[in-house]
Amino acid sequence: YIAKAGRRGMSVYEADGDTNSPARLILLGDLRRALDSGDQLSVHYQAKLDLESKTVVGLEALLRWNHPLRGMVPPSEFIPLAEQTGLVHTVTDRVMRMVLTQQRAWIDEGLEIPVAVNLSALNLAEPELDRRIARLLEEYDVPARLLEFEITESAIMQDPERAAETLRRIAAMGSTIALDDFGIGNTSISQLRDLPIDTLKIDRSFISDMTNGNEVLVKVVTDLAHEFSMVAVAEGVELPETAERLRLLGCDIAQGFLYARPVPASELPDVLATYGMLTPAVLLD
Ligand code: C2E
Ligand code: MG
Ligand code: MG
Ligand code: MG
């Protein structure tokens, strides 16, 4: 990850595994300042497409940090840091506000675009998370059904009972829940059945493995999703032949560089013009 960041921007910090290393503490201080300054953080949006109609059914919000010295710092570097320090609550609040501001602007133009926001394990442990989300939806006057929350299996497993309760309350408000990076964790099938999950996002590693002929896991997860009346989404689709195999396996939705990279909202009109968009009303039936 660090090497990737180094190629894209100027890397002035050495990476190491020590959470309390000076480099990590400096980066943490920088992130605090970024959250205060307001102009270093932005959200990029990546389209998700229905595999049959090849139209956009929604977007995933992905946080971007443009560091004044280092350039773009990847979320894989700063999100874990924010998670270890509790700063992730502020990060999530900021992401939700940026997304809701954007959705409000789209609604004013007559567009209802569902957006998925990533939550971390710490967010799920927050007792008032559902109330905080409800207040934000009210403040921006955006319907709950236009927000989806993506959570990982490991985030749920840190405290499954509590996570299930929080997710149930969020689902009751009308938002949907997606299980992110599914397949690499160890959620049991009975836990999966008991959680208010609407969508399974099949981990990218399974999708890239399909080019080596390993389709069985994708097939199993797709069928599992459908048995539980969930939608199956493939992450990291890069090749047309992968998309076609996914379609034949019955996978519902795909997300990946093949269709669109994560882009600033200003570039979304191009994506929407290329593929068109299913309205949420059409999605319901
Ligand atoms: P994720 O939620 O699984 O997001 C998908 C990641 O896969 C994104 O990386 C996206 O750019 C990348 N991706 C999408 N399509 C392709 C593809 O076809 N090929 C390849 N190689 N990659 C693809 P990104 O934006 O670097 O984010 C990485 C992770 O950081 C996310 O994984 C998520 O766990 C976390 N993250 C990003 N934004 C946020 C946020 O606002 N809040 C929280 N808590 N976590 C976030
Ligand atoms: Mg995600
Ligand atoms: Mg994912
Ligand atoms: Mg992933």
36-93 tens-digit pLDDT: 987 999 999 999 999 999 999 999 999 999 999 999 999 999 999 999 888 999 999 9
In sequence order, what are the beta bridge partners of 62? 44
pLDDT tens for residues 94-111?
A: 999 999 999 999 999 999
Kindly report the pTM of this predicted structure: 0.92
Closest ligand 1 atom to residue 262 Cα is 11
Return the pLDDT at 19.
Answer: 62
| CA-proximal residue: ligand 1, atom 33 (nearest) | 118
75 close to ligand 1 (CB < 6 Angstrom): yes
Judged against a pLDDT cut of 50, whether residue 192 lies above it is answered with: yes
Question: What's the CA gap between 53 and 32, in Å, rounded?
Answer: 43
Q: How far is CA 254 from the centre of its chain?
A: 13
Q: Which residue has the higher pLDDT, 226 or 22?
A: 226
- pLDDT, residue 211, reads 87
pLDDT surpasses 90 at 15: no
- Name every residue whose Cβ is closer than 8 Å to that of residue 149 and which is 6 or more positions away in sequence: 116, 117, 118, 119, 167, 170, 175, 176, 177, 178
CA of 149 to the centre of ligand 2 (A): 8
The mean per-residue pLDDT over the stretch 233-243 comes to 97
**Ligand 1 atom nearest residue 201's Cα:** 3
Q: Give the span between the Cα atoms of 3 and 74, in whole angstroms.
A: 11
Ligand 1 within 6 A of CB of 179:
no
Using CA atoms, how far apart are residues 37 and 129, in angstroms rounded to an integer?
A: 25
Cβ of 153 below 6 Å from ligand 1: no
Picking from 71, 127, 59, the residue whose alpha carbon sits closest to that of residue 95 is: 59
Tell the residue nearest (CA) to atom 30 of ligand 1. Answer: 75
At 18 the pLDDT is: 58
- To test ligand 1's pocket by mutation, which of 62, 84, 89 has the most ligand atoms within 8 angstroms of CB? 62
pLDDT band at 185 (very low <50, low <70, confident <90, very high): confident
Whether the CB-CB separation of 241 and 249 falls below 8 Å is answered with no
Its ipTM equals 0.98
Q: Is 120 in the pocket of ligand 1 (CB under 6 A)?
A: yes
Whether the CB of 148 sits within 6 Å of ligand 1: no
The count of C-alpha atoms lying within 13 angstroms of the C-alpha of 224, restricted to the half-sphere facing its C-beta, is 22
Supply the pLDDT for residue 21.
84
Q: What pLDDT, in 10s, does the model give residues 106-151?
A: 999 999 999 999 999 999 999 899 999 999 999 999 999 999 999 9
Q: Which ligand is nearest to the CA of 184?
A: 4
CA dist 224 and 194 (Å) reads: 14
**AA identity, residue 266:** S
Phi-psi region of 229 (alpha: psi -120 to 50; beta: other; left: phi over 0): left
Torsion angles phi and psi, residue 59, rounded to 5: -130, 155
On whether the CB atoms of residues 31 and 78 are closer than 8 A, the answer is: yes
Q: Which residues make beta-bridge pairs with 72?
A: 66
CA distance 161 to 175: 20
